[in-house]
Amino acid sequence: MRINSDVRARLLAESVCVLFMGAVVAAANGFHLAYILFPELAALASDVLQRPTGKWAKEPWKLVITPTAAAVAGVAVTKFLPYGDASVLLAMLLSIGIVLGLRSAVAPAISAGVLPVALGVSSWLYPVCILCGLVLLGSTLLVWRGSTFGRALSQEKGPDIRVTEVLESTPHGRWWFGAHFLFVALIGLVAQLTGWRFILFPPLIVMAYEMLGHPGTCPWAKAPYTLPVVCTITAAVGVQSVFWMGVTPVSAAIVILIGFLVLRVVRLRMPPALAIGLIPFILSTPSYRYVLSVAIGTVALTVWFLLFRALLFSRRMQWQRKGNDQVASKL
């Protein structure tokens, strides 16, 4: 069977992403700086390499600056506040403020701001390492975009272009921010009281931001029941890879490859799933407690989103009936 040029280009883009993340792990090991391995880097690399003319890729300076600025904010919060619901919420709000203030589409920057709070990272090396990783990604993107395969992956091709473009825009609607804040506050309180910090793992905040901000277009919002399954599988793969092979380029490559395979099987575009698989690489003692935490957090998000969507639909129906009544009264 002959593979068409678009499919071949996409497979090559995924291969470049795997090699890129392997190189990042090698650099982290070589320089003894675990902070270089920013898990959301995999999500960013996956998107910009497969969509080299998409919103994230079109503004490479925002791709670099937004997560770096959020990382600075996160470290500042960690320096002045102990871990807790309040510090997580503050880091999240500062990161969202940076994203919206820069008019950036790079939502994974929120994870960059919350991660140092979750891990207790207070070193300014953290944002410096993130900056270096993103500069390397930006440079890789520029080379890839100019290649034959990069040019083949034009955003004008593919069935999910409009959905993806809307997803990578500013959240809209009247209720998304309150719903997002309340979800993070409640799950963060559970994480604080139980001591299971990664019930509220940083990519979960990004996924909630996208789902609640784009309830009708977010790809994984259209498959909420699949969300916990995919995330739990990638988390388990990440933990098991570290158990078997340690934090190495090969184990990272396996995690990314299996992540791509799982997403392809369920026909879902969800870059944060790749980040979830890499978080065990930066944990001091990864265990299956992390996998269970991911399962709990994603099930909670699924339930919260379904309630939010039902309430939103109910509100819309009320507004529609009210509008119809007003029109009828004028007739």
Say if residue 19's pLDDT is above 50. Answer: yes
Average predicted confidence (pLDDT) for the chain: 86
Say if residue 158's pLDDT is above 70. Answer: no
Report the phi/psi class of residue 126: left, alpha or beta, with left for phi > 0 and alpha for psi in -120 to 50: alpha
Say which residue, 170 or 63, is predicted with more confidence: 63
pLDDT of 326: 43
Say if residue 229's pLDDT is above 60. Answer: yes
Q: Which amino acid is at 290?
A: Y
Give the model confidence (pLDDT) of 237-290 as tens digits: 999 999 999 999 999 999 999 999 999 999 888 889 999 999 999 998 899 999
- Each residue of 211-238: b (16+ CB within 10 Å) or e? bbbbbebbbbbebbebbbebbbbbbbbb
Contact (CB, 8 A) for 56 and 48: yes
Reduced to 3 states, what is the DSSP secondary structure of residue 223? coil
Query: What value does the mean pLDDT take over residues 115-126?
Result: 94
Beta-carbon count within 10 A of 78 CB = 22
For residue 23, how far is the Cα from the chain centroid? 20
Query: What value does the mean pLDDT take over residues 30-54?
Result: 89
Q: How confident is the model at residue 321 (pLDDT cuts 50, 70, 90)?
A: very low
Say which residue, 175 or 69, is predicted with more confidence: 69
pLDDT of 217: 76
Q: How far apart are CA 103 and CA 239, in angstroms?
A: 35
pLDDT of 168: 61
pLDDT of 328: 38
Q: How confident is the model at residue 35 (pLDDT cuts 50, 70, 90)?
A: confident
Say if residue 63's pLDDT is above 50. Answer: yes
pLDDT of 313: 66
Give the model confidence (pLDDT) of 191-226 as tens digits: 999 999 999 999 999 999 999 988 877 777 778 889
Say if residue 316's pLDDT is above 70. Answer: no
Contact (CB, 8 A) for 187 and 80: no
Domain boundaries, the chain: 5-153+171-330
In sequence order, which residues have a C-beta less than 8 Å from that of residue 295 and are 6 or more positions away? Answer: 228, 231, 232, 235
pLDDT of 219: 79
pLDDT of 315: 58
Quote the pTM value: 0.88
pLDDT of 4: 60
